[in-house]
């Protein structure tokens, strides 16, 4: 089996895409969970503000999600552009 340069570059790009998305999913997953747990705690203490708290939770989670989306973008770039 002969291995050419282009083949190795492609192989490395695929591996990099997988690792990028995989590792990149850890942080947002854990962080969004923490946000949701705190929102539940706050609603438990002060149920009247449930609407406001859920909104704040979603905004916080959307920001925490951004690094996950960066990873997704990088993975897609590695798969289809490189």
How far is 1 from 16, CA to CA, in rounded Å?
23
CA angle 70, 61, 28 (to 5 degrees): 50
Q: Tokens standing for 30? A: 């854990």
| Residue whose entry in the numeric block shows the structure tokens 């997704």 | 72
Q: Does residue 7 bind another protein (CB under 8 A)?
A: yes
Window 23-62: residues binding another protein (CB under 8 A): 23-41, 43-45, 47, 50, 53-54, 57-58, 61-62
Q: Does residue 72 bind another protein (CB under 8 A)?
A: yes
Radius of gyration of the chain (CA): 19
Residues of this chain that bind another protein (CB under 8 A): 1-3, 7-8, 10-12, 14-19, 21-41, 43-45, 47, 50, 53-54, 57-58, 61-62, 65, 68-69, 71-72, 75-76, 79-80
């Amino acid at each position: 089996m002969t291995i050419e340069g282009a083949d190795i570059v492609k192989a490395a790009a695929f591996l990099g895409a997988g690792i990028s998305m995989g590792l990149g999913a850890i942080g947002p997953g854990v962080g969004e969970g923490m946000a949701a747990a705190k929102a539940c705690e706050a609603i438990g203490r002060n149920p009247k503000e449930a609407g406001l708290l859920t909104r704040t939770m979603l905004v916080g989670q959307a920001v925490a999600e951004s690094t996950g989306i960066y990873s997704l973008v990088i993975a897609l770039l590695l798969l289809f552009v490189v």
